[in-house]
Homo-oligomer: A and B are copies of this chain.
Amino acid sequence: MRTSRLEAFSDGVLAIIITIMVLELKVPDEPTLVALGDSATGFLTYLLSFVYIGIYWNNHHHMFHVVESINGTVLWANLHLLFWLSLYPFTTAWLDESQLARTPTVVYGINLLAAAVAYYVLQLAIFRSPGGERLRTALGRDLKGKVSPAIYLAGILLAFVSPLLAVLCYVLVAVIWLVPDRRVERFVAASNPSQP
């Protein structure tokens, strides 16, 4: 199977996920700034999940750039990743509606972690398929990919102290992947396409 149709399908699913999340943003009942202020949490959680899907789309694209052909394992590992990403609208909406309560914050973190693990599993599946060695070389030490799950885990645990600290951890991972900071890049060395 060529990668083009898998890429097109994944693009479609990611484009839909990133867009339907906005449907979870409740339109304020009153036409006032105060009522809009109640949507602030929703707006920020939406932004966070939007950035995450953007990062995954970006990395997903880089990853399949190196791959030549795919087998059934890669195909299902990819659908497995899309499954966890497709739950973002659900966990994001719960996080928002509960105003960052503890349980939804933990569940959101678990969703982020599950997607990261699914991305890692997808990488392993690609490593073993034709052309997979090239991806392994391109990834190098993949420090970003190894640090992210640890920060997710820290966030999930910190949620029991304070949900806000947990969300800060989730934001931190997004920033690590987002900001092309030269110092970070030198520190992280050759960690190009990988999971957040």
| A interface list, Cβ under 8 A from B | 1, 5, 7-9, 11-20, 22-25, 27-28, 31-33, 36, 47, 50, 54, 57-58, 61-62, 65, 72-73, 75-76, 79, 82-83, 86-87, 89-90, 93-94, 97-98, 101-104, 107, 178, 180
With A32-B103, A36-B103, A103-B36 known as contacts, the answer to whether A22 contacts B94 (CB < 8 A) is no
Instruction: Please tell me if the beta carbons of B79 and A22 are within 8 angstroms of each other in the complex.
Output: no
Which residues on the B side are within 8 Å of A86 (C-beta)? 18-19, 22, 50
Most buried by B among A8, A27, A75, A98: A27
Instruction: Please tell me if the beta carbons of B15 and A94 are within 8 angstroms of each other in the complex.
Output: no
A98 and B36 CA atoms in complex are apart in Å by 12
Instruction: Please tell me if the beta carbons of B7 and A12 are within 8 angstroms of each other in the complex.
Output: no
Judged by DSSP, the binding face of A is: helix
With A12-B11, A79-B54, A83-B47 known as contacts, the answer to whether A19 contacts B20 (CB < 8 A) is yes
Closest 10 CB pairs of A and B: A31-B101, A12-B15, A31-B98, A16-B19, A54-B79, A27-B93, A13-B15, A27-B94, A25-B90, A31-B103
Which residues on the B side are within 8 Å of A31 (C-beta)? 94, 98, 101-104
With A14-B9, A50-B83 known as contacts, the answer to whether A22 contacts B90 (CB < 8 A) is yes
Instruction: Please tell me if the beta carbons of B16 and A12 are within 8 angstroms of each other in the complex.
Output: yes
A67 to chain B, nearest CB (A): 14
A31 and B14 CA atoms in complex are apart in Å by 27
A36 and B102 CA atoms in complex are apart in Å by 13
Which residues on the B side are within 8 Å of A102 (C-beta)? 31
